[in-house]
Amino acid sequence: MPQQLSPIRTSTLHTIGRTPIVKLRRVVPANSADVLVKLEYFNPTGSYKDRMALAMIEEAEMRGDLRPGMTVLEYTGGSTGSSLAFVCAVKGYPFKVVSSDAFAQEKLNTMRAFGAELEIIPSRGGQITADLIPSLIARAKELAQEENIYFTDQFHNRDSLKGYAKIGLELLLQVPDGIDAFCGGVGTAGMLMGVSEALHDGGSQSRVIAFEPATSAVISTGTPGSHHVEGIGVGFRPPLLDADLYDEVRAIDEGQGRKMARRLAREEGIFAGTSTGVNVIGAIQLAQELGPGHTVVTVASDSGLKYLTGELYGG
């Protein structure tokens, strides 16, 4: 049967979503459940944050909170910023970003490429220390007081869940035989919450499991610490994390996550970041517990192309 090619799109914004899903073939041990990975790096800036950025901007436009001539403002480790910079470029909004040198240079340069204006808060030795994100937030709050600003405020913005719900809706169609567990790392928690809600609204009985870096297991132990997994482990319990929408939190060793990210590239052809390695380590744990005949689903959050000069692949 010839493959259906997509028609001409009237905007690059229409290329967000409808990402492929693949079954892992080599990194999952025998006698495990199937592990399926939804390849979110197929989104235009290479991460699932494109879904969130589009939803945060379009919901604000629909309410009239964001109007032509306004500047969009966000604090971000880079992926949300790259996605917002992309959406703002297409829609013609200036975009101001508070970020840090703890995050990949590729992401900072991507935001600049899309025309964003960056303010960089220096980190301690390139580490994501527990005080880093709060210091970005404090600076963004100051800037938000200026005239004509729309502050997307990703950690408190429930519009993001609408964008991520689409991952859940796509999964209901792509995995018609049912999902036993859906899992993923938590930063803002928008992805996990949005997908959980959509799966359960769609009748799925899937368990939902959150992951965080073992050295900063704030949700499971209350103790923040340093780590080097971009996007997750923000040093506090994210306000969007809703206890009714997940079943369990697990702390995952980031070193194992990095090794898995490298194995995913070499053995499965999945070229993604460390948070994806963490997701797959956790998904395999669940797959071994559930055993054959079950299905565990996670996401490849973003592309390995974002980490070519860092310790993950640059090394």
Give the footprint of ligand PLP on this chain (CB under 6 A): 47, 77, 79-80, 185-192, 230-232, 273, 275, 301-302
- Lookup: tokens for 39: 């390849």
The answer to whether 304 touches 277, Cβ cutoff 8 Å, is: no
Taking the complex as a whole, how short is the minimal distance between the CB of residue 161 and ligand PLP, in angstroms? 9
Taking the complex as a whole, how short is the minimal distance between the CB of residue 49 and ligand PLP, in angstroms? 6
Describe the strand order of the beta sheet including 34-39 as a list of residue ranges.
Answer: 21-23, 34-39, 295-300, 181-185, 207-213, 248-252
Identity of the residue, 224 or 231, whose beta carbon is nearer to ligand PLP in the bound complex: 231
Taking the complex as a whole, how short is the minimal distance between the CB of residue 73 and ligand PLP, in angstroms? 17
* Chain centre distance of CA 31: 29
User: Alpha-carbon distance 82 to 47, whole Å?
Assistant: 9
User: Alpha-carbon distance 271 to 229, whole Å?
Assistant: 16
User: Alpha-carbon distance 74 to 96, whole Å?
Assistant: 7
Identity of the residue, 32 or 49, whose beta carbon is nearer to ligand PLP in the bound complex: 49
Taking the complex as a whole, how short is the minimal distance between the CB of residue 106 and ligand PLP, in angstroms? 12
Closest residue to ligand PLP, based on beta-carbon distance: 231
Identity of the residue, 59 or 290, whose beta carbon is nearer to ligand PLP in the bound complex: 59
Identity of the residue, 187 or 235, whose beta carbon is nearer to ligand PLP in the bound complex: 187
Taking the complex as a whole, how short is the minimal distance between the CB of residue 7 and ligand PLP, in angstroms? 30
The Cα-based distances of 112 to 15, 74, 215 in angstroms read: 21, 14, 32
The dihedral through the CA atoms of 292, 295, 299, 304 has a sign that is: positive
Identity of the residue, 32 or 297, whose beta carbon is nearer to ligand PLP in the bound complex: 297
- Lookup: tokens for 302: 């973003």
Identity of the residue, 32 or 284, whose beta carbon is nearer to ligand PLP in the bound complex: 284
Taking the complex as a whole, how short is the minimal distance between the CB of residue 156 and ligand PLP, in angstroms? 12
- Lookup: tokens for 202: 């769609």
Bridge partners (DSSP) listed for residue 45: none
Taking the complex as a whole, how short is the minimal distance between the CB of residue 4 and ligand PLP, in angstroms? 30
The answer to whether 290 touches 31, Cβ cutoff 8 Å, is: no
Identity of the residue, 133 or 287, whose beta carbon is nearer to ligand PLP in the bound complex: 133
Helix (H) or strand (E) holding 112: helix 105-113
